[in-house]
Structure 1
Amino acid sequence: MSRVTSARPRSSVLRTRAAVVVAGLGATAVLGTGAAFAAETGTSAAATSTVAMSPAAAVAAQATAQSQAAAATKAAEAQAAATAKAATAKQAAAKKAAAKKAAAPSWTKPVSSYVLSATYGKAGNMWTSNHSGQDFAVPTGTPVKSVGAGTVVKAGPNGAGDGPAYGNAVVVKHNNGKYSQYAHLSSVNVVPGQIVKAGQQIALSGNTGNSSGPHLHFEIRTTPNYGSSVNPVSFLRSVGVTI
């Protein structure tokens, strides 16, 4: 009796095996993809965990940033305060200098306390011609001041070159071109070429030369030399000084 073998079951078996193989490959592929994804996911997670800070670290970082900002603000405020202080000091110094300049006299009296004696133009046997200045009766040693700012052009004995009748004397050239002369001095405190201010002490009064008693002989001249005098009282009045 012959055996009949059917082809259908074999075909079915082959198909089944192919399906299994394909399924296997698919599973392998799926598993591989999953592994790769897991690997990538793990790497990303690791990176993320490396960058991220703990709450305590974040608080510390914030505190540090705030401290640095506060220090910067404090430094800026200190710098601004120092700048303002320097500006205020500069303004105060300028104001003080201006006030001092305004307070400084342009012209002043040659002595502070005195009694007027022989006047300008007075005639008498005390002089070879009329009196060439204004006399201020003061004790010997009274401070004598330059009546205005200027430069000392003559100073010393023998009338500083004008003759022994004047005793020790000083002549100052002023900025307006006039000259002031101070005579019969007990001592001279300046030298020729010295710059003086109005009110600056230049000598001490005395009784040297042709003098009948302690006093200051004061002249205003148009030149540094004897013979060019003008009325000193009128001149001082013209510059705002009354004696």
Structure 2
Amino acid sequence: MSKRVTPRHSRASQLRMRAAALAVGLGASVALGAGVAAAADTTLTTAAPGTTASAVQTQADAQAKAAADTAAKNKKAADTAKKAAAQKAAAKKAAAKKSAVSWVDPVKKYKLSASFNQAGGMWSHKHSGQDYAVPQGTEVVAAHGGTVVKTGGNGAGDGPAYGNAVVIKHGNGTYSQYAHLSRVDVRVGQVVSTGQHIALSGNTGNSSGPHLHFEIRTTPNYGSAVDPVSFLRAKGVTV
């Protein structure tokens, strides 16, 4: 039996062919891998910047909205505070103005009796004021803020017909007089405010019964009286 002998050059050729095929296969794999890697790199390179930009924009929008909300809240708070301050200032100004110009009735719960300029046998001349019929001892208050300039019996110097009396000086050359008092509770030179207690009503002097005689004058003395009811009504007092 004889052995089959393969020529050397044939075996070498086969080895070369196998090596070439392997190389081709490896090359394809390498090329394919490289292509996939390149594609992945391209995707990452392309996608990453867009994703980052979107995230940055979202954050920027959120921050801008938060800043706008904060600014709006701050503005609202500032406007509210400014409005409150303006209202407080206006109220204070109104209160001060009211305190400075307000007038009130000299007594409460009264009935009007003898009126200004009324004729009658009780007076040597026409009635110089307005009478408020009230019980003995009724509180008498300053019709307006001012300084007490006259007090005492004998009409505080205006004559015995007035009995005990008080005269208060107000601004703009205006005076108020309160007469027939049972008690005087202020002194000359004392500063009083609108509605402050100054005396008690009575029946002193030329009086037919308990009441308050009230005058508005242009001087502190008798003979300068004007209609007190018209005066008070012009000041907003309901008489």
Alpha-carbon displacement from aligned partner over 1:198-238 (angstroms, at most 9, x marks no partner): 11111100000000000000001111001111100111112
Match among 189, 192, 202 for residue 196 of structure 1: 192
Match among 140, 143, 148 for residue 152 of structure 1: 148
Match among 120, 126, 136 for residue 122 of structure 2: 126
Measured after TM superposition, the shift of residue 95 of structure 1 is: 9.1
Does 1:222 pair with 2:218? yes
Alignment of 1:29-44 (within 5 A): none
The two structures have a TM-score, normalised by structure 1, of 0.59
Alpha-carbon displacement from aligned partner over 1:99-131 (angstroms, at most 9, x marks no partner): 764664711110111010000011011000000
2:232 partner SS: helix
| Structure-2 residue corresponding to 1:162 | 158
In 2, distance between residues paired with 1:113 and 1:98? Answer: 31
| Structure-1 residue corresponding to 2:133 | 137
2:186 partner SS: coil
Corresponding residue pairs, total: 154
Structure 2 unaligned segments of length 5 or more: list them.
1-85
In 1, distance between residues paired with 2:108 and 2:89? Answer: 30
In 1, distance between residues paired with 2:165 and 2:178? Answer: 5
In 1, distance between residues paired with 2:117 and 2:199? Answer: 25
User: Structure 1 counterpart of 2:206, which letter?
Assistant: N
Measured after TM superposition, the shift of residue 98 of structure 1 is: 6.0
In 2, distance between residues paired with 1:164 and 1:132? Answer: 15
Measured after TM superposition, the shift of residue 176 of structure 1 is: 2.2
1:214 partner SS: coil
Match among 161, 178, 181 for residue 174 of structure 2: 178
In 1, distance between residues paired with 2:234 and 2:194? Answer: 16
Measured after TM superposition, the shift of residue 171 of structure 1 is: 0.3
In 2, distance between residues paired with 1:108 and 1:98? Answer: 20
2:233 partner SS: helix
In 1, distance between residues paired with 2:94 and 2:184? Answer: 31
The two structures have a TM-score, normalised by structure 2, of 0.60
In 2, distance between residues paired with 1:176 and 1:145? Answer: 20
Alignment of 1:71-82 (within 5 A): none
Q: Report sequence identity in percent.
A: 66
1:235 partner SS: helix
Q: 1:221 to 1:103 in 2, by over 3 A?
A: closer
1:153 partner SS: strand
Alpha-carbon displacement from aligned partner over 1:56-82 (angstroms, at most 9, x marks no partner): xxxxxxxxxxxxxxxxxxxxxxxxxxx
In 2, distance between residues paired with 1:228 and 1:107? Answer: 20
User: Structure 2 counterpart of 1:161, which letter?
Assistant: G
Structure 1 unaligned segments of length 5 or more: list them.
1-90
In 2, distance between residues paired with 1:231 and 1:97? Answer: 32
1:241 partner SS: coil
In 2, distance between residues paired with 1:170 and 1:239? Answer: 21
1:152 partner SS: strand
In 2, distance between residues paired with 1:98 and 1:188? Answer: 33
